Structure formats: structure tokens, C-alpha cells
């Protein structure tokens, strides 16, 4: 499974989780084996939000072949595009670092993001 977590720095597991998917400067990309162990962890510079808006960022993440995204916030258009593309979107707004978010996810304590959870902007 390949998980993408938007974050503020390139510190991988130690990076602070970003407050919003579309404006995160970095993405931590984590590949898990079938037992749930991390087999690779990579920091990837996020695409610019700029003129293309979230479309640039969505295309960038889809190009990373993510199976899941864990984010604190995401607007309705990205949520719908990822869902339609078969990428599961999970929401966590409580943990500070990527490691903490990942730990809760592996325990099954990070819920799927619903349409009601999406940001309205």
C-alpha cells in the first residue's frame, strides 16, 4: 500500500503534518508491505497550487500512484477526484507529525473522509 501524507517539511516521519492538502509544501510517501511495515519512506516536493489550483496538486499525487491519502483538510473537488480515481482519503486533524498520523492509521484509528468533512472554499 502506498500512502501519501501532506506535510510542512521534508523530514519524512518527523515532518509536521500539513493543515491542508492543496497547500502542503511537501508530501511524505510511505510504502507498506502486506504486514503493514514501512518498506520505503520518501519526501517529495509537492506541486505548486498556483494557476492550476488544486488540479496541479491532484495530478501530482495521482502520478505518485497513491492508494491512500491521510490529510487534515481537503476541499470537495480533490476529495471527489481522488475517490473517483480509487484513492482512499482519510482524515486526521489531531496528530502533529507524520509518524503519529501513520501510527494511528496502522491501528485503524483514522477514519475515511466523508463529503461532510470536506472544506468548503
Mean pLDDT in residue range 43-72 = 85
26-44 per-position pLDDT tens digit: 999 999 999 999 999 999 9
| Measured distance CA(68)–CA(53) in Å, rounded | 21
**What structural domains does the chain harbor?**
2-115 (3.30.420.130)
pLDDT tier, 49 (very low <50, low <70, confident <90, very high otherwise)? low
67-112 per-position pLDDT tens digit: 999 998 888 888 889 999 999 999 998 899 999 999 999 999 999 9
pLDDT of residue 119: 64
- Reply yes or no on whether the pLDDT at 114 is more than 80: no
> Taking Cα atoms as reference points, which of 38, 32, 121 lies closest to residue 74?
121
- Contact of 83 with 106, CB cutoff 8 Å: no
pTM across the whole model: 0.92
pLDDT of residue 120: 62
Name 90's bridge partners: 70, 112
pLDDT of residue 118: 64
What are the DSSP E strand ranges found in the chain? Answer: 2-7, 26-32, 38-45, 68-71, 88-91
Amino acid at each position: 500500500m502506498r500512502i501519501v501524507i501532506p506535510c510542512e517539511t521534508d523530514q519524512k516521519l518527523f515532518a509536521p503534518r500539513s493543515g491542508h492538502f492543496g497547500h502542503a509544501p511537501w508530501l511524505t510517501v510511505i510504502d507498506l508491505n502486506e504486514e503493514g511495515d514501512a518498506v520505503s519512506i520518501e519526501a517529495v516536493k509537492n506541486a505548486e497550487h498556483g494557476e492550476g489550483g488544486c488540479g496541479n496538486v491532484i495530478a501530482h499525487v495521482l502520478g505518485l500512484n497513491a492508494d491512500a491519502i491521510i490529510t487534515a483538510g481537503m476541499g470537495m473537488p480533490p476529495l471527489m477526484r481522488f475517490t473517483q480515481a480509487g484513492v482512499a482519503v482519510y482524515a486526521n486533524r489531531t496528530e502533529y507529525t507524520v509518524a503519529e498520523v501513520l501510527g494511528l492509521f496502522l491501528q485503524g484509528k483514522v477514519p475515511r473522509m466523508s463529503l461532510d468533512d470536506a472544506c468548503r472554499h
